[in-house]
Amino acid sequence: MEVRIGIQNSGRELAFESAESPAAVQKTIGDAIEKQATHFTLSDENGRLYLVPTASLAYVEVGSEKTRRVGFVA
């Protein structure tokens, strides 16, 4: 599933593929905002960790878990 995170005052967004479910990503970010944590941590499919500051969080886009189609689409 694709996760895209926008950070204020940054020209680029953080985008990566995550093995976590959309609900797990939403809970991680929601808990960090609710508890007023300074940052939250997410990991990608390759095991890389991303530390994102909650104070400068602009948006989070969580893609759906869908399978890729093979072949041509009519």
Q: Does the residue 70 lie in any domain?
A: no
Rounded Cα–Cα distance for residues 24 and 30 (Å):
10
In a domain, 68, yes or no: no
In a domain, 71, yes or no: no
Nearest to 49 by CA among 19, 7, 12: 19
Instruction: Provide the CATH number for the domain around residue 39.
Output: 2.30.30
Domain count for the chain: 1
Q: In Å, how far are 21, 32, 63, 66, 74 from 71, measured between CA atoms? A: 26, 41, 22, 16, 10
* pLDDT for 69: 62
Give the C-alpha separation, 45 to 47, whole Å: 6
Whether 25 is covered by a domain: the verdict is yes
How confident is the model over 17-27, as pLDDT tens digits? Answer: 998 989 999 99
- pTM for this one? 0.78
Tens of pLDDT along 25-44? Answer: 999 999 999 999 999 999 99
pLDDT grade for 51, boundaries at 50, 70 and 90: very high
Assess if residue 52 is contained within a domain: yes
Asked if the structure places residue 74 within a domain, the reply is: no
Between CA 30 and CA 73 the distance in angstroms is 37
Residue 49 domain boundaries: 2-62
